[in-house]
Amino acid sequence: MKKEKKQKFKKILITGGAGYVGTVLTELLLKKGYHVRVLDLVPEAVFHPIPFYNHKNFDFIKGDVRDIKFVKKALIGIDAVVHLAAIVGYPACDKEPKLSYDVNVNGAKILMKTIKSTIPILFASTTSVYGKIDDRVCSEITKRNPVSNYGVQKAEAEDLVMKNKKFIIFRFTTGFGASLKMRFDTLPNDFTYKAINEKNIVVYQKNFIRSFIHVRDMARAFLFGLEEYNKLEGDVYNVGSNELNISKEELARLIQEKTKCKLEFKEIGKDLENRDYFTSFDKIKKMGFETSISIKKGVDGLVKALLCL
Q: Residue 188 domain-assigned? A: no
Length of the chain: 309
Q: Residue 67 domain-assigned? A: yes
User: Which neighbouring-strand residues pair with 245?
Assistant: 211
Q: How many CB atoms lie within 10 A of CB 185?
A: 13
pLDDT in tens, 103-118: 999 999 999 999 988 8
pTM of the entire predicted model: 0.93
Q: What's the CA gap between 148 and 289, in Å, rounded?
A: 29
Q: Residue 201 domain-assigned? A: no
Q: Residue 50 domain-assigned? A: yes
Q: Residue 111 domain-assigned? A: yes
Q: What is the pLDDT of residue 245?
A: 86
DSSP secondary-structure letter at 238? E
Q: Residue 163 domain-assigned? A: yes
Q: Residue 5 domain-assigned? A: no
Number of domains in the chain: 1
Residue ranges of the chain with pLDDT lower than 70?
1-5, 43-50, 268-276, 309
Q: What is the pLDDT of residue 45?
A: 47
pLDDT in tens, 208-236: 888 899 999 999 999 999 999 999 999 99
C-beta of residue 83 within 8 angstroms of C-beta of residue 119: no
CATH number of domain containing 48: 3.40.50.720
Q: Residue 87 domain-assigned? A: yes
Q: What is the pLDDT of residue 134?
A: 77
Domain carrying residue 96: 11-179+212-243+278-292
Greatest Cα pair distance, the chain, in angstroms, is 62
Alpha helix (H) residue ranges in 116-237: 149-162, 187-197, 215-227, 229-232
What is 240-274 written as a DSSP string?
S-GGGEEEHHHHHHHHHHHH--EEEE------TT-
